Chains A and B, each alone.
Chain A
Amino acid sequence: MGELRLMKGNEAIAEGFIRAGVDAYYGYPITPQSEVMEYLMAEKPEERTGMVVLQAESELAAINMVYGAACTGKKIVTSSSSPGISLMQESFSYIAGSEVPAVVLNVVRGGPGLGDIQPAQSDYFQSTKGGGHGDYRQIVLAPSSVQEMYDFVNLAFDLAFKYRIMVLILSDGAIGQMMEKVMLDEQKPRLTNQEIKDRFDSWALTGRTPGREHNIITSLDLDQENLERHNFHLQKKYKEIEENEVILEEVSLEDAEYVFMAYGTSARICHKALQIARKEGIKVGLLRPITLWPFPEKKVKELASKVKGFLSVEMSAGQMIEDIRLAVEGKTKVAHFGRYGGVIHSPEEVVAALKSKIIGG
């Protein structure tokens, strides 16, 4: 039986962690996402499900606690905001190299540097291109409502375990802080240690089961030929994800002559902008990528030969636009619009930008 509640995005995702049967959350406070750990601590999940919640001494420690625990086949999560996520990048690369499943939430704020604590979307490059070192990828999910903050927890863990990969939930300060109704589903039980052994004993550190080889979790291979082979394997996995796991939302694209492309908070604004524009007779649709990586390249390509232009609406100086341009391959007009540094654009500004940069531009 579901349960309807009015919650902040940060609280909804925290509740989602508990109900998804997560084994541990390790984190460090930073605005605008501190409510995640605050909510968890107040909820006493160790009593509700046996879930561990621990405040670490830094994001470096938090992500490495995540890394260690994730090596054991347990469901592990952390959350932070932009500067904290920057600090975690070395370990993201290790997680990718050693192929362990983990989920990380980034409630993005304005940058660069310490920036501000207002919502932003300026971590797209870092999230989708890899802020750490080496040839690696992580799946990036972009919720645009409090309900999706909650729902994407299960989605993220399903993908993380299916591919033994890190899944980043890329939210922003607006979605983290806003209150909306959210439908909560039933508590999923945490896996028992025996269930974990039954499922993941081929790779997880569960203690060397008599009769099997010892399991090693490492990203090191000093033999360059071996490391190249490992990279081939990773690239193959990434290709498979690109082919199978793209998730997107389409709004009024059937007859669209123009496309807003936006995710998260910007997508919400574009919904509104779309209504305004449509009232004025402008045939615009919205393509909302839910997975930022894998990027909905095929869909963009398909639209590129039909429409008169894309407006990439982002709360950044223009980051996703680079992926749109790559997919469009010059077939149609592509422009960026967005306020940034923590400023959120209005629907009217978006419509005006569509007119000036695409229709009249």
Chain B
Amino acid sequence: MAEIKLEDIIKPENLVFQKTKLFTDKPLSYCPGCGHGVVHRLILEAIEELGIESETIGVAPVGCSVLAYEFMNIDIAQAPHGRAPALATGIKRVYPEKFVFTYQGDGDLAAIGTAETIHACNRGENISIFFINNGIYGMTGGQMAPTTLPGMASSTSPYGRDVASMGHPLKMTELVANLPGTRFVARHAVHTPALVRKAKKAILKAFENQKENKGLSFIEIVSNCNSGWKMTPVKSNQWLTENMLEYYKLGTLKDE
């Protein structure tokens, strides 16, 4: 066998994976290893594959991903903390033929924005909600989130979340799956190649559901927050598998 040089492989015709063109040129502002970057990519890849970049309007939250609009090369609004589903409702109702999605963290979606989330789901708005659950408030420096696990330490639960006084972690995905307005509800993760591929399929489906007027798709992504958890990215993904996924079970909760 003749020796194959790298230059022979690295040629445009042999390309099998490259960054989607729907990323802007700006480097992501996220910490090393942060799952936000993967989820951004999957959403943009789905939009690109469906060819709907000129028909899509996104809504970014308040949280680490507040700057999602800097990185996603689509028309996009930045919502007040927790209100993304209300903005998305407002947009979708006046542009029913556009693809409208929200991108929200767990503080945004499951604490301050609980009412907007539940009611958008309950009305069955024909939108996609992408919910990044990292069990903590990343942007503000690692405070307890509604999703923080029992016993899990954060800067506002330094001795661990005491469920007796601080309440229980909120399983928003189970909650909205119970509402008649939701159509497709699933929980995914993005820390292994296989899981990323599955999550991508769900995200694609969420957009396709909009096209077919099927109603609300709600996709939770259990993700990491290396900075907030104070672990290396590799460690935090391990911790995620061992702890987060025990409480937040992956899978499709509803697909009608």
Residues of A at the B interface (CB closer than 8 Å) are 23-24, 26, 52, 54, 56-58, 60-62, 64-72, 74, 76, 90-91, 94, 98, 193, 205-210, 214-220
The yes or no answer to B53 lying at the interface (CB within 8 A) is yes
- Asked if B91 contacts A220 (CB within 8 A), the reply is no
Could you tell me which residues of chain B, from 78 to 121, have a CB within 8 Å of some CB in chain A? 78-80, 83, 86-91, 93-95, 98, 115-116, 119
For residue B74, CB closer than 8 A to chain A, the reply is: yes
**Contacts A67-B83, A216-B75 known; 10 new A-B pairs at CB < 8 A:** A24-B90, A61-B116, A61-B119, A67-B79, A71-B77, A74-B94, A205-B91, A207-B56, A216-B70, A216-B78
Which residue from A67, A69, A215 sits with its C-beta under 8 Å from B94? A69
- A69–B77 Cα distance when bound, in Å, is 10
Contact: A94 with B80, CB < 8 Å? Answer: yes
- Cβ–Cβ contact A72 & B91, under 8 A: yes
Shortest CB-to-CB span from B51 to chain A, Å, is: 11
| Least distance between B56 CB and chain A CB atoms (Å) | 6
Q: Is the CB of A218 within 8 A of B90?
A: no
Q: How far is the CA of A60 from the CA of B112 in the complex (A)?
A: 11
A61 touches B86 (CB 8 A): yes
Within 8 Å by CB of B91, from A69, A208, A210, lies: A69
| A216–B58 alpha-carbon span in the complex (Å) | 10
Residues of B with Cβ closer than 8 Å to A? 24, 53-57, 59-60, 66-67, 69-70, 72-80, 83, 86-91, 93-95, 98, 115-116, 119
In the assembled complex, the CB of A209 is this many whole angstroms from the nearest CB of chain B, namely 6
Contact A216 B76 (CB under 8 A): yes
For residue A203, give the distance in angstroms from its CB to the closest CB of chain B.
Answer: 10
In the complex, residue of chain A having the shortest beta-carbon distance to the beta carbon of B98: A207
Do residues A60 and B86 form an inter-chain contact, with CB atoms below 8 A? yes
B83:A61 contact, CB within 8 angstroms: yes
User: Majority SS of interface residues in chain B?
Assistant: mixed
A210 to B115, CA, bound (A): 36
Q: Are B54 and A57 in contact (CB under 8 A)?
A: no
A261–B70 alpha-carbon span in the complex (Å): 49
- Are B116 and A64 within 8 A (Cβ)? yes
A21 to chain B, nearest CB (A): 13
Sampled A-B contacts (22; CB under 8 Å):
A24-B90, A56-B86, A60-B86, A61-B119, A64-B90, A64-B116, A67-B80, A68-B79, A68-B89, A69-B90, A71-B77, A76-B94, A91-B83, A193-B95, A206-B75, A207-B74, A207-B75, A208-B75, A214-B74, A216-B69, A217-B76, A220-B78
User: Could you say which residues of chain A place their CB within 8 Å of the CB of B93?
Assistant: 24, 52, 54, 65, 69
CA distance A288 to B106 in the complex (A): 50
Tell me the nearest residue of chain B to A73, going by C-beta: B94
A208 close to B86 (CB less than 8 A)? no
A207 to B78, CA, bound (A): 15
The distance from the CB of A95 to the nearest CB of chain B, in whole angstroms, is: 10
Q: Could you tell me the distance between the alpha carbons of A256 and B202 in the complex, rounded to whole angstroms?
A: 73
A205 near B57 with CB under 8 A, answer yes
Asked if residues B76 and A205 are in contact (CB atoms below 8 Å), the reply is yes
A220 interface neighbour in B24, B53, B66, B76, Cβ under 8 Å? B66
Q: In the complex, how many angstroms separate the beta carbon of B93 from the nearest chain A beta carbon?
A: 5
